[in-house]
């Protein structure tokens, strides 16, 4: 796994946000308009044919403007390259969602072609240095006007619903490889999605294909979606994507993709999500940081094909780990930020408001696994978590895939379980207070909260059902959390285990034979 690449991608997202925050009115004096190329026929079918044709030939990397100049456009220099919003695509009408563009720089040197579609015809948006605030002393002024120097784009708030869209943070960003992200209903961005993930968590290098071209089809009415088409290309595959993007209380994206493989791929990750988890109340090294928790997501949620709801708290392991959850026709999965209490973070970057992202399959995805890759990290700048769908059948050269799914950027799952949910996982030394603590014994405390537990008759206790892949369980207890909150229960249990191999753990609460909670899964790494 290329950790430095993940670090770099996270920095690009931070730079992206900083560039927007620096936006002012000083550059608005000069009126700039978009220049368009000659019209050519375009449709999703044409794009799929183009991706198929590309996959039949050797890969050719996207062009890059003068590398010696681009590598000097660092974090600070890129922050000064503000796109002139008066030159936004559809700034004055034609679509609900204006679109602005990002410049190439040190962290994203590859160019991306941008096109606008109307009535079945596409016209390329011509790069012009005057679209950006490139002063005469800026290093970017040394770049030629041709070829293009676009690297990505922003989708802004709906003009009809937010007339002040120029002063608001964009709601969707596509920038860097096949990465994109969106604002959640709590007004924050956080984790990212990707078009594809190839070989994350493996000993061989991870491959990062690029979205090399985009086409924009405007939303004519206030409630219509913006349509974005994308051509994906990389050494191992090519693909055609269609994004139907709509701003709701968060952002909803309907995504359709057609993929064509050039080479065999060891681990093909579809509908991937990427996030950051450093530490939480579960495990925190002593005095590693002044904040109680630091993470963009705190768990993986699964809604299986059989209807089971599962919560798997995230880990920051000592080595790269990959967990596979076998399923058939999954109903959904996502990386969520469940903990919404500011005091649990104490950070002005507002981790408690970070969005959750949920993948909802459209159609039958068949057999495969939801794979969770967890990578060691020692700082919050690294995106170290990947969740994705891996089909059961091997991904071999010449194979094609058709995929449809809905991506929800919200505060929570769009279809939460009616059962009680896991709200905290805590680890400590096993044994009893006041007595010598036995070596190799770890205590676990798992908290659940929800209506089924709140409605229990007086005197009725739920029963914790705990199983582990190895080791010996003892001291299994259940109690109501003494905080006065109805339906808030916690179970404690000790695990004695030898060796350092991971232990797969499972727990849920029941009354008689009826489940009261979702299923808690956890991978424990003995020291």
The verdict on 379 and 516 lying in the same domain is no
**Helix, strand, or coil here: 15?**
helix
For residue 414, pLDDT over 60 is answered with yes
pLDDT beyond 50 at 24: no
Are residues 435 and 389 part of one domain? no
Alpha carbons 160 and 76: distance in angstroms, whole number? 34
Q: Are 149 and 104 in contact (CB under 8 A)?
A: yes
Residue 236: inside a domain: yes
Q: Show the domain range for 145.
A: 3-410
Tokens of 54: 């590309």
For residue 220, the domain's CATH number is 2.70.98.10
Q: Which of 410, 436, 470 is the last residue of a domain?
A: 410
Indicate whether 127 and 27 sit together in one domain.
yes
Question: Phi then psi for 230, rounded to 5 degrees?
Answer: -145, 140
Tell me which residue of 40, 36, 211, 213 sits closest to 125, measured CA to CA: 36
Q: pLDDT digits over 35-46, tens only?
A: 999 999 999 999
Distance CA 139, CA 137 (A): 6
Task: Give the pLDDT of residue 21.
Answer: 43
The number of C-alpha atoms within 13 Å of 158 and in the hemisphere containing its C-beta is 17
Q: Find the mean pLDDT for residues 439-451.
A: 96
Domain final position from 384, 410, 436: 410
Is the pLDDT score of 2 beyond 70? no
DSSP 148-177: --EEEEEEPPPTTT-TTGGGSPPSEEEEST
Establish if 416 belongs to a structural domain: no
| Measured distance CA(215)–CA(41) in Å, rounded | 12
Q: How far apart are CA 350 and CA 108, in angstroms?
A: 26
Asked if residue 44 is part of any domain, the answer here is: yes
Using an 8 Å Cβ cutoff, are 426 and 527 in contact? no
Q: Which of 359, 383, 380 is nearest to 370 (CA)?
A: 359
The enclosing H or E element of 48 equals helix 44-55
Band (pLDDT 50/70/90 cuts) for residue 32 is confident
Query: How many CB atoms neighbour CB 409 within 10 A?
Result: 27
Instruction: Look at residue 20 and tell me whether its pLDDT is greater than 80.
Output: no
Residue 505 pairs in a beta bridge with 468, 522
Q: Please state the separation of Cα 11 from the chain's center in Å.
A: 15
pLDDT in tens, 346-357: 999 999 999 999
Weakest mean pLDDT among 48-52, 75-79, 411-415, 511-515: 75-79
Neighbour tally for 464: CB within 10 Å = 21
Residues 130 and 182 in one domain: yes
pLDDT of residue 527: 81
User: Tokens at residue 192, please?
Assistant: 């990212």
> Reduced to 3 states, what is the DSSP secondary structure of residue 430?
coil
Asked whether residue 134 is domain-assigned, the answer is yes
Q: Are residues 345 and 272 in the same domain?
A: yes
The span from the CA of 476 to the CA of 326, in Å, is 28
432, 425, 429, 440: which is closest to 527 by C-alpha?
440
Provide, rounded to the nearest whole percent, the portion of the chain with pLDDT above 90: 83
Of 354, 178, 374, nearest in space to 272 by CA: 178
Q: 104 near 110, Cβ under 8 Å?
A: yes
DSSP state of 331: -
Domain-embedded: residue 303:
yes
CA angle at residue 192 from 188 to 195, to 5 degrees?
140
State the Cα–Cα distance between residues 90 and 240, nearest whole angstrom.
Answer: 24
Q: How far is CA 452 from CA 180, 462, 465, in A?
A: 38, 10, 16
Question: Are residues 327 and 444 both part of a single domain?
Answer: no
Distance of CA 245 to the CA centre of its chain: 16
Nearest CA to 271 among 208, 181, 196?
A: 196
Kindly tell me if the per-residue pLDDT of 5 is higher than 80.
Answer: no
Pair 92, 138 in one domain = yes
Q: Are residues 366 and 428 in the same domain?
A: no
Which pLDDT tens digit goes with each residue over 261-310?
Answer: 999 999 999 999 999 999 999 998 889 999 999 999 999 999 999 999 99
How many angstroms separate the CA atoms of 391 and 202, rounded? Answer: 17
- Strands 519-524 and 309-313, by their bridges, are parallel
Verify that 271 and 389 share a domain, yes or no: yes
Do 279 and 319 have their domain in common? yes
CATH of the domain at 484: 2.60.40.10
Query: Stretch 111-125: mean pLDDT, rounded?
Result: 97
Strands annotated E in 248-365: 251-261, 268-275, 277-279, 294-295, 299-303, 309-313, 321-328, 332-336, 356-361
Same domain, 430 and 390: no
pLDDT digits (tens, 9 = 90+) for 46-76: 999 999 999 999 999 988 888 899 999 998 9
Strand partners, 244: 227, 254
Answer yes or no: is pLDDT of 25 > 50: no
Q: What is the DSSP letter of 141?
A: G
- Cβ atoms of residues 77 and 139 within 8 Å: yes
Of 139-148, 376-385, 472-481, give the lowest mean pLDDT range: 139-148
Last residue of a domain, one of 410, 441, 469: 410
199-235 pLDDT tens trace:
998 988 899 999 999 999 999 898 999 999 999 999 9
> Is the Cβ–Cβ distance between 192 and 383 less than 8 Å?
yes
The domain tally of the chain equals: 2
Tell me: pLDDT of 22 over 60: no
* Inside any domain, residue 415: no
Alpha-carbon gap, residue 127 to 143, rounded angstroms: 11
The reply to whether 503 falls in a domain is: yes
Cα–Cα distance list, 480 to 61, 64, 448, 515 (Å):
59, 61, 10, 17
Residues 279 and 217 in one domain: yes
Mean pLDDT over 147-158 rounds to: 93
* Domain assignment present for 342: yes
**pLDDT category of residue 31 using cuts at 50, 70 and 90:** low
């Amino acid at each position: 796994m290329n950790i430095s690449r993940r670090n770099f991608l996270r920095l690009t997202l931070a730079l992206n946000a900083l560039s927007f925050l620096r936006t002012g009115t000083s550059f608005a004096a000069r009126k700039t308009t978009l220049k368009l190329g000659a019209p050519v026929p375009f449709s999703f079918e044409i794009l799929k044919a183009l991706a198929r044709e590309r996959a039949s030939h050797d890969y050719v990397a996207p062009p890059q403007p003068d590398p010696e100049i681009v590598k000097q456009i660092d974090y600070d220099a890129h922050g000064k390259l503000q796109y002139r919003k008066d030159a936004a695509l559809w700034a004055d009408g034609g679509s609900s969602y204006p679109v602005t563009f990002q410049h190439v720089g040190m962290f994203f040197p590859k160019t991306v072609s941008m096109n606008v579609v109307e009535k079945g015809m596409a016209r390329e948006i011509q790069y012009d240095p005057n679209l950006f605030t490139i002063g005469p002393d800026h290093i970017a002024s040394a770049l030629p006007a041709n070829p293009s120097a676009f690297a990505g784009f922003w989708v802004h708030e709906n003009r009809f619903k937010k007339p002040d869209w120029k002063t608001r943070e964009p709601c969707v960003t596509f920038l860097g490889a096949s990465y994109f992200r969106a604002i959640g209903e709590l007004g924050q961005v956080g984790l990212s999605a990707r078009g594809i993930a190839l070989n994350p968590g493996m000993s061989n290098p991870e491959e990062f294909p690029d979205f090399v071209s985009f086409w924009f089809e405007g939303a004519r009415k206030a409630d219509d979606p913006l349509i974005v088409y994308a051509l994906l290309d990389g050494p191992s595959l090519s693909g055609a994507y269609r994004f139907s993007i709509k701003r709701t209380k968060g952002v909803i994206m309907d995504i359709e993709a057609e993929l064509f493989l050039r080479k065999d791929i060891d681990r093909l990750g579809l509908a991937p999500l990427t996030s950051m988890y450093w530490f939480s109340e579960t495990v925190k090294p002593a005095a590693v940081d002044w904040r109680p928790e630091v993470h963009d997501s705190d768990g993986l949620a699964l809604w299986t094909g059989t209807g089971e709801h599962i919560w798997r708290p995230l880990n920051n392991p000592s080595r790269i780990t990959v967990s596979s959850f076998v399923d058939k026709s999954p109903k959904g999965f996502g990386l969520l930020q469940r903990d919404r209490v500011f005091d649990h973070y104490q950070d002005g970057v507002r981790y408690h408001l970070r969005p959750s992202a949920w993948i909802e399959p459209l159609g039958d995805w068949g057999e495969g696994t939801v794979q969770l890759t967890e990578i060691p990290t020692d700082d919050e700048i690294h995106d170290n978590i990947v969740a994705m769908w891996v089909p059961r059948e091997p991904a071999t050269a010449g194979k094609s895939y058709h995929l449809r799914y809905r991506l929800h950027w919200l505060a929570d799952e769009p279809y939460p379980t009616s059962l009680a949910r896991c709200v905290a996982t805590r680890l400590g030394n096993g044994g009893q207070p006041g007595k010598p603590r036995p070596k190799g014994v770890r205590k676990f405390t798992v908290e659940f909260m929800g209506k089924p537990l709140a409605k229990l008759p007086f005197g009725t206790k739920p029963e914790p059902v705990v199983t582990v892949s190895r080791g010996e369980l003892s001291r299994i207890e259940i109690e109501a959390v003494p905080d006065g909150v109805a339906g808030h229960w916690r179970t404690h249990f000790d695990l004695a285990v030898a060796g350092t191999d991971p232990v797969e753990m499972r727990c849920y609460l029941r009354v008689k034979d009826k489940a009261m909670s979702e299923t808690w899964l956890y991978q424990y790494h003995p020291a």
